[in-house]
Amino acid sequence: MSVSAETDFTAPAASKRRQRLFQFGMSVPGALATSILVLFALGVVLFLGFRTNDGSLLGGGVTFKNFSDALSDPLYATVILRSLAIAGFVTLATVATAYPVAFYLAFHAGRHRGLLLFVVTLPFWTSYLLRVFAWKVVLAYNGVLNSALLSAGITSEPILAFLNTPAAVVVTLAHAYAAFAILPIYVALENVPRSLIEAAEDLGARPFTVFRRVILPISMPGVMGAALVVFVPTVGDYVTPALVGGPSSTMIGSMIQAQFGKANDWPFGAALAVIVMLVILVVVLIARFADKHFGSRT
């Protein structure tokens, strides 16, 4: 939709000015929003990470202590690793369970595809807090699961260990972000050229081989996209650990929130945030590398 060369060439000066004005005007909102809300805001966080905590908004002099503390203290290493592990499990579970659904949608759903796609992605648009809260109610000591087990006679006493454990966090997060994973995989599977599948089948490949050597590799970008879109919010989450996780499930998001809350050390929180963003960047780069390496056609 770019302006064709002829129009440019023959337009009088006034209308060229109008066009420039239009293009300038159209660029302003986006430029303002991204430069202030994205670049500047993130820049300030980066800046604050290098400041000392003297109680003022932007801190005192420059220091590397925040970063060195965060990286050297075994607690933060544990919490970061725990967050990566939980996010990793959640991503794996979510993507693995979403793939068959996307596969069905792309290859078997036929007429009902639109409806089914809508049904499985609908939870994406519901309130995250409500989804986590629903699990808290389900897993509670005198909650839905325990009372169901009790009345069915399967257990004689409520099980303490459903709630306030890392396992509860994994289950809740996997459920909360399940809907996120389906769409990217579905889109990638949709774009697998049917001709390739037919060719493989014509050459005598059995269905599983077709899947393994044609469909799966080509759909990898979608799988990576899904993994990313689940991993990112999960790794920084603090609501789920707070509601269903208990003391042993503290994740890095909770620690960042605590620095801006009771621990009252904004610069340190900013440093933790920068570290988390770097971790995410590394994961994104790995995903892209794997994507290129394992062959994508897009």
Query: Which residue reads 């986006």 in tokens?
Result: 30
- 120 part of the interface to other proteins, by CB under 8 A: yes
Phi first, then psi: what are they for 51, rounded to 5°?
Answer: -110, 160
In the window 13-42, what residues touch other proteins (CB under 8 A)? 15, 18-19, 22-23, 26-31, 33-34, 36-42
Distance of CA 28 to the CA centre of its chain: 29
In the window 198-237, what residues touch other proteins (CB under 8 A)? 198, 201, 207, 228-229, 232-233, 235-237
- 70 part of the interface to other proteins, by CB under 8 A: no
Q: 47 or 294, CB closer to other proteins?
A: 47
Alpha-helix runs per DSSP H in 64-165: 65-72, 74-107, 113-121, 128-139, 144-151
Task: Pick the piece of the chain touching other proteins (CB under 8 A) from 60-68, 110-118, 216-224, 286-294.
Answer: 110-118
Kindly list the distances between the CA atom of residue 74 and the CA atoms of 70, 132, 285, in Å, as whole numbers in the listed order.
Answer: 8, 29, 26
Query: What's the closest the beta carbon of residue 280 comes to other proteins, in angstroms?
Result: 6
The CA radius of gyration of the chain, in Å to the nearest whole number, is 25
- 12 part of the interface to other proteins, by CB under 8 A: no
8 Å CB contact between 186 and 117: yes
Query: What's the closest the beta carbon of residue 57 comes to other proteins, in angstroms?
Result: 5
Kindly list the distances between the CA atom of residue 81 and the CA atoms of 130, 169, 216, 262, in Å, as whole numbers in the listed order.
Answer: 27, 15, 29, 23
- 187 part of the interface to other proteins, by CB under 8 A: no
CA atoms of 271 and 277, how far apart (whole Å): 10
Phi first, then psi: what are they for 53, rounded to 5°?
Answer: -95, 95
CA atoms of 142 and 130, how far apart (whole Å): 19
Q: 217 or 280, CB closer to other proteins?
A: 280
Q: 223 or 239, CB closer to other proteins?
A: 239
Q: 34 or 68, CB closer to other proteins?
A: 34
Q: 62 or 160, CB closer to other proteins?
A: 160
Is the sign of the CA dihedral 210, 214, 220, 223 positive or negative? negative
Alpha-helix runs per DSSP H in 108-193: 113-121, 128-139, 144-151, 166-190
In the window 239-258, what residues touch other proteins (CB under 8 A)? 239, 243, 246-248, 250, 253-258
Q: How many CB atoms lie within 10 A of CB 224?
A: 24
Query: What's the closest the beta carbon of residue 137 comes to other proteins, in angstroms?
Result: 5
8 Å CB contact between 81 and 279: no
- 177 part of the interface to other proteins, by CB under 8 A: no
Task: Pick the piece of the chain touching other proteins (CB under 8 A) from 60-68, 88-96, 191-199, 286-294.
Answer: 191-199
Query: What's the closest the beta carbon of residue 294 comes to other proteins, in angstroms?
Result: 21
Q: 21 or 295, CB closer to other proteins?
A: 21
Of 71, 119, 282, 285, which lies in the binding site for other proteins, with binding defined by CB under 8 A?
119
In the window 128-167, what residues touch other proteins (CB under 8 A)? 128-131, 133-135, 137-138, 140-144, 146-148, 150-151, 158, 160, 164
- 289 part of the interface to other proteins, by CB under 8 A: no
